[in-house]
Amino acid sequence: MAKFGDIAEGLVYLHQRNVIHRDLKPANVLICIDNRLKLADFGISKIMHEDDLNRTIVGTPLYMAPEVARGKDYDYKSDVWALGIIFYELCMLEHPFVDRFGKRRNQKFSVPQLDCKRLGYSSALQGLCDMMIQKDPTKRWTLESILTKFRILEIVS
């Protein structure tokens, strides 16, 4: 679980430089020789300008935030959603929208509200997961808040 912090720190680095990744998924996370994780594939990343709103539907559907899939305005919090899906996968060793045979659970891209209680971890860790995968982007935490809570949980455990 410690490697999750590397991914979150990489996103914080991007967001502080006004870059939204837009295709965060495990295949775009590389393991370096020093065993640190680094983000990769910035082909559809975008530099955000003040008051910029995006509506372009880009990214990998299984990691795409609900607002992106619906063609609604989105911002950095769409990366937070993808980070939450990766976090869920790290905890459960399976994708929340794919069955054990590799098929999508919902043929249409309708996103159910995920229940992180299913993770079987502490309520604090479940809460962290919940804050990343809120369907409503206004209810999703910022990366800074997520990383702070994660670091506190690392120290406590």
Query: Which residues are marked as active site?
Result: 23
**Residues 6 or more apart whose Cβ sits within 8 Å of residue 18:** 47, 48, 49
Find the angle CA(144)-CA(145)-CA(150) to the nearest 5 degrees. 100
- With a CB cutoff of 8 Å and minimum separation 6, the contacts of 101 are none
- If you search the block for the tokens 């912090």, which residue do you land on? 5
